[in-house]
Homo-oligomer: A and B are copies of this chain.
Amino acid sequence: MALIVQKYGGTSVGTVERIQAVAAKVKKFRENGDDIVVVVSAMSGETNRLLGLASTIQEQPTAREMDVLVSTGEQVTIALLCMALNECGCPARSYTGSQVKILTDDTHTKARIQDIDDGPIRGDLKEGLVVVVAGFQGVDIAGNITTLGRGGSDTTAVALAAALKADECQIYTDVDGVYTTDPRVVEGAQRLSKITFEEMLEMASLGSKVLQIRAVEFAGKYNVPLRVLHSFQDGPGTLITIEDDNSVEKPVISGIAFNRDEAKLTVMGVPDIPGVASKILTPVSAANIEVDMILQNVAEDNTTDFTFTVHRNDYVKTCKVLEQVSLDLQAREVIGDGKIAKVSIVGVGMRSHAGVATKMFTALANESINIQLISTSEIKISVVIAEKYLELAVRCLHSAFELDGAEVVQES
């Protein structure tokens, strides 16, 4: 008998019929003797409907009220799913984020979970109930409703699994697992049966939309085995877990991630003295802008260039912040580009293999793709290129690292 936390996204609960299908699925697990906690998102379309209502009233709707508004989406789903479970003879009880006390900080629309009261859930599970929890939402210490930002239901599920020490956290979605890259871009992309937290983290943060990055962080931190599965197709999905050193030889590269939602900014000619990076990024963070890549190369003539990337939506806002920073630092100028894309190769295998970077750069050079920025970590190499080359770059790298699967099958 296992304790499983299952998360169903908006598409999986998008209609009454699908909610009933989820209930039937949960019932099977119950009949198998497992204890089940279900986390659900808003029915697909509902969050956008609510956002639409808000945006007709306020261009920048009040963040506190946005959370009051959009949190109703999941509240509707938990009630309907409990009804469906009760109806099929599987007793269930629902909880909003406030009720189950998913305590967060007070950053409305982007809150972070601080604590979860697992008492009521444990009590219900002991009573034989299925517990249904609204994803994506929480409550701050003052009792205000908060939300974790889009995709936050994954985080809710993993945080609950960690708090309950669940045996597995299953993320049901509209894909059947994590792929070597986006199958819409590369025909031969293959499903991975297993991937490490670290690799998944790099994949997620770089634009593989399967799982929310914070959810993977959480799962890795608390070592919660995470499995991505298709909501309505049977299959093993992809298990995300800690690295197994005893496993057979791994491929060098697990996957290729990419992201076209970024913009790059460079503060040119800043003085090469301690504290400059902090002076540039502190006001950026204060404006609630998340920074992705950060690069600073060697100095010349006692000045250097400081480059970073942000979400494309934050591009204009960031430019404004940098205007003042640039004056304060007596920098030469600020330049930026919104038409970039980031492509990354990810794999724990590259730790023990030399020449991975060379292979990547050669593959890109063979296609005459110019590299604008390079950034590396232990298990990832990212490059920024002009957006128009994105698909070409992903395809050539997928081939270069021998990830093409289905294509080979098709040839035989």
Contact = CB atoms under 8 A, between A and B. Distances in A.
A76 B57 CA distance: 13
Interface stretch (A78-86, A166-174, A350-358): A78-86
A76 B67 CA distance: 10
Nearest to A98: B98
A108 to B, nearest CB: 12
A65 B53 contact: no
B69 A80 contact: yes
A62 B80 contact: no
Contact of A78 (B68, B84, B93): B68
A143 B99 contact: yes
Contacts of A96: 68, 145
A54 B80 contact: yes
A94 interface: yes
A61 interface: yes
A16 B72 CA distance: 17
Contacts of A76: 50, 53, 69, 72
Contacts of A82: 62, 65, 68
Interface string A43-75: 000000010011011100110111011011001
Q: How many copies does the complex hold?
A: 2
Nearest to A82: B65
A87 interface: yes
Contact of A94 (B53, B61, B65, B79): B65
Contacts of A78: 65, 68
B75 A16 contact: no
Contact of A79 (B65, B75, B98): B65
A12 interface: no
Nearest to A20: B57
A16 B79 contact: no
A307 B69 CA distance: 48
Given A20-B57, A76-B50, A83 B99 contact: no
Contacts of A20: 57
Interface string A161-201: 00000000000000000000000000000000000000000
Given A99-B143, A143-B99, A54 B79 contact: yes
Nearest to A43: B53
A10 B68 CA distance: 18
Nearest to A87: B58
A68 B57 contact: no
Contacts of A54: 79-80, 83
A40 to B, nearest CB: 12
Nearest to A73: B72
Nearest to A134: B68
A360 interface: no
Contact of A83 (B58, B75, B80): B58
Given A53-B80, A68-B94, A62 B75 contact: no
A68 B68 CA distance: 14
16 contacts: A19-B57, A20-B57, A50-B76, A54-B79, A58-B83, A64-B94, A65-B80, A65-B82, A65-B94, A66-B79, A68-B79, A68-B96, A69-B76, A69-B79, A69-B80, A96-B145
Interface of A: 16, 19-20, 50, 53-54, 56-58, 61-62, 64-66, 68-69, 71-72, 75-76, 78-80, 82-84, 86-87, 93-94, 96, 98-99, 143-145
10 tightest A-B contacts by CB? A69-B79, A72-B72, A68-B79, A65-B79, A65-B82, A57-B83, A58-B83, A58-B87, A72-B75, A16-B56
Given A54-B83, A68-B82, A99-B145, 20 more contacts: A16-B57, A19-B57, A20-B57, A50-B76, A53-B80, A57-B84, A57-B87, A58-B83, A58-B84, A58-B87, A62-B83, A64-B93, A65-B78, A65-B79, A65-B80, A68-B75, A68-B94, A69-B76, A69-B83, A96-B145
